A and B are shown apart, each in its own frame.
Chain A
Amino acid sequence: MTQAASQVGCATCERAIESCEVCDRADCPTAVCYRCLAVALRQATPQPHDHGG
């Protein structure tokens, strides 16, 4: 029998994640997913337009 990976919910968007993106803990009370962290820290890199500009 396989065991399902333990999951927590992102405190911002409630998406199920295996562990907090910041501290890597599965029991983090303020767990955050990669997407919400990137938005919160404004570190996401938007893709450039095909035509540039």
Chain B
Amino acid sequence: MGFTQVYHYVAGKLDWMAAGGPIEGTGAAQPRAGGVARADVPTCGLDERLGEVRERVKAAGWDACVVVNQERVVFGLLRAKELDGDPDSRIEQAMRPGPSTYRPHVPVAELAHTLVDHDVPNSPITTSDGRLVGLLLREDALHAAHQAHQAEEGSP
């Protein structure tokens, strides 16, 4: 068939998609969490002080920060409520530990429904080994889902 380099991705197609790998075929065009999540979300480490992190996060125009290690594996999340805590506290104490995370291949329309139903403003998107892809904002998810729906209705 002319293929010269062929690989067997042992973990399977879903793991490939969960890692944010490119896909094609039916449904590939629908917006997914990994494509809509903001990769430029501020991050911080466990040993930092909340006051310094809060300054940095606000200066960048954010009200959320993802707590990661050096490999960008997600440990926790600081939403507005956590960011307003004691400025002298360590991030490890201030953060919301082990937040629910979602894989990049999850259709954004489904995730938008979930975030609205549970009144959650944002959620980290991670690969299946826990590395941060970005932070999905509820309004971004709703916007992307709405646009996709409109495009679907407008197509012949």
| Chain B binding surface, main DSSP class | loop
Q: Which B residues are CB-close (under 8 A) to A52?
A: 8, 10
Q: How far is the CA of A50 from the CA of B103 in the complex (A)?
A: 24
Within 8 A of A (CB), among B1-38: 8, 10-12, 14-15, 18
- Given contacts A45-B15, A52-B10, 15 further A-B pairs with CB under 8 A are A22-B115, A22-B118, A23-B119, A37-B100, A41-B106, A41-B111, A42-B110, A43-B18, A43-B103, A43-B105, A44-B14, A45-B14, A45-B18, A46-B14, A48-B10
Out of A21, A23, A45, name the residue touching B12 (CB < 8 Å): A45
Assess whether B89 is interfacial by the CB under 8 Å rule: no
Show 27 residue pairs from A and B whose CB-CB distance is below 8 angstroms, ordered by the A residue.
A20-B118, A22-B114, A22-B117, A22-B120, A23-B118, A23-B120, A28-B118, A30-B117, A30-B118, A37-B100, A40-B110, A40-B114, A41-B102, A41-B106, A42-B107, A42-B110, A43-B103, A43-B105, A44-B14, A45-B12, A45-B14, A45-B15, A45-B18, A45-B128, A46-B12, A48-B11, A52-B10
| Chain A binding surface, main DSSP class | loop
A: residues with CB less than 8 A from B are 20-25, 28, 30, 37, 40-46, 48, 52
* Cross-chain pair count, CB within 8 angstroms: 50
Assess whether B131 is interfacial by the CB under 8 Å rule: no
